[in-house]
Amino acid sequence: MVEHLKKLAKIFRNRYISATLLFIVWIVFFDQTSLIYDFRLTRKEHQMKAQEGYYKKQTQAATEQLKELQTDPANLEKFAREKYFMKKSNEDVYIFVDPHNHLLDSLNIAAR
């Protein structure tokens, strides 16, 4: 065991090896753009690209819904009734909620 320590001490006495090891440790752990920081940024970049795909799909769906609402008055009325619970003057709106506070049917209209 002592012989192994002596061999390691002899290797570290070489200033080039010591400088190289010090440089590697500095780059991996302490530098502003260390490898650890770089790995974290890469992981975050992949997460953000996945989110980008999700938001593109959501934007596309919203755009299609907007075109549909702008072109067809019947769809606009349906949207207003389902999302904002709007009703005509001669109607009653019944909203059924399950025990977990989830809407069972977004809109149930009964004409008087």
pLDDT of amino acid 59: 96
pLDDT of amino acid 58: 94
Q: pTM for this structure?
A: 0.47
What DSSP assignment string belongs to 14-38? SHHHHHHHHHHHIIIIISTT-HHHH
Low-confidence ranges of the chain (pLDDT < 50): 106-112
pLDDT of amino acid 106: 46
Which run of H or of E encompasses 109? Answer: strand 103-111
pLDDT of amino acid 107: 46
pLDDT of amino acid 102: 63
- 78-105 residue pLDDT tens: 888 888 888 888 888 777 777 776 655 5
